[in-house]
Copies of this chain bind each other. A is one copy, B any other.
Amino acid sequence: MLLRAAEVSCAENGARLTERRRQVLSVLMQSSSPLSAYEVLDLCNLSTTSAMPAMSVYRILDFLEQQLLVHRLSTSNKYVSCAHIACDHKHFQATHFLLCEGCSSVEEVDATQEASDALEQMAETVGFKLTTQQFELSGICTTCQNSAGRGL
């Protein structure tokens, strides 16, 4: 189970995946599209008796982000669960996100060497040294391309 893998992953960093954190992560994993902090909050509070304060959600999202279990999309201020919780994928290089304009789904992909090089090169022409890269690219996913073609 994914949550179990996340727990192990936390433990390796000397961190704990508490009940609340599990709850937040679970909500994000069940969503097919990115959620705002307050959307996460509302979903959490549906399934619980004791309401969680907004502050906690932000804290927990920060935590999960540090643990690389969750990624924050800075263009929309929303959050998605990492696509690689289960597998032993490492975030070596930059991670990019492909945002579908049709269905709001997100695809997480590793940066290719070519893309990283090209961008670094681009920055270098004006003397800039890049420190981080994470892009959010808008487009249309396969599914939506197909359904659009058939008038759906």
> Which A residues are within 8 Å of any B CB, using their own CB?
74-76, 96, 98, 100-101, 107, 109, 111-112, 114-115, 117-119, 121-123, 125-133, 135-142, 145
Shortest Cβ gap from A130 to chain B (Å): 4
Chain B residue at minimum C-beta to C-beta distance from A112: B122
Q: Chain B residues near A107 (CB, 8 Å)?
A: 126, 128
Asked if A98 and B141 sit within 8 Å, CB to CB, the answer is: no
* Copies held by the complex: 2
Question: Given the known A-B contacts A74-B74, A138-B131, are A114 and B109 also in contact in the complex, defined by CB atoms under 8 Å?
Answer: no
Chain B residue at minimum C-beta to C-beta distance from A117: B118
Shortest Cβ gap from A143 to chain B (Å): 9
Top-7 shortest CB links A-B: A127-B142, A115-B118, A114-B118, A130-B139, A74-B75, A118-B118, A98-B128
Q: Chain B residues near A75 (CB, 8 Å)?
A: 74-75
**Which of B128, B130, B140 is the one whose CB lies under 8 Å from A129?**
B140
Shortest Cβ gap from A26 to chain B (Å): 25
Asked if B145 and A138 sit within 8 Å, CB to CB, the answer is: no
